[in-house]
Amino acid sequence: MSLDGYVNDRDGSAAHLYPDMDALHESDGLQESMENTGAVVMGRRSYDMAQGDYTGYEYQVPIFVVTHNSPETVAKGENDKLKFNFVTAGVERAIEQAKSAAGDKQVTVIGGADVIQQLLRAGLVDELEVLIMPILLGGGTRLFGDDAGDALIKLDKVAVSDMAGGTNLRFRVMKNGA
């Protein structure tokens, strides 16, 4: 996200935010995430951002898309590892299914902002990773939207690293009573 909290600008573009996509893809952080991920969860808008083509997608694992309606045609790029599953029963169900598909590996939630917010508030996130890019966007879609409730969520920083020109922060989400 940008320093002022946006994951894309007013036109819905993340191009200003990540000027060097190759550097991002080649970063140790993403490589490590790819290795450790057993399943991916994303919202419908995030899914649609690839415009129907997941050929060569970085996460070659089962993908669970949270949506109200399953699409009529499924995006290109499926193979024996990458399979799309459309979950219409909500984020919690998507996480359940992704967990069982991931086995010993982690479930990585790609976004969007609303899915992440719902999961955080439902106490379903173990770790939160935020890449802060050196830019102010001035407007757009926030990662952390307004009125997400007033329960304070404490975080415990696990690591700080440089990633693709930005600062990557990894946190453990402290559960109630922990």
Partner 1 sequence: MGKVILDMSMSLDGYIATADGKDGGLNDWYFSPPEKSKAIVDEMMRDLGVIIMGRKTFDEGDAHNAFDDSPFKIPHFILTHRPRETKDSNGSSYTFVTDGIESALKQAQAVVKDGFYIAIGGGARVAQQYLEAGLVDEIQIHQVHVLFGSGVRLFGDSGMEATPLERVRVIDSRGVTHLKYRIVK
CA 125, CA 141: separation in Å to the nearest integer? 21
Q: How many residues bind partner 1 (CB under 8 A)?
A: 34
Query: Quick one: which of 63, 115, 135, 163 contacts partner 1 (CB under 8 A)?
Result: 135
Question: How far, CA to CA in Å, does 27 sit from each of 24, 60, 129?
Answer: 5, 17, 14
Rule CB under 8 A: say whether 71 interacts with partner 1.
no
Amino acid at 171: F
Site string for partner 1, 91-120 (x = CB under 8 A): -----------------------------x
Rule CB under 8 A: say whether 149 interacts with partner 1.
yes
CA 83, CA 74: separation in Å to the nearest integer? 10
CA 123, CA 142: separation in Å to the nearest integer? 20
Under DSSP, is residue 57 helix (H, G, I), strand (E, B) or coil?
coil
Site stretch for partner 1 (CB under 8 A), options 25-33, 82-90, 97-105, 156-164: 156-164
Query: Can you give the binding site for partner 1, defined by CB under 8 A?
Result: 3-5, 9, 16, 120-121, 130, 132, 134-139, 142-144, 146-157, 160, 167, 169, 171
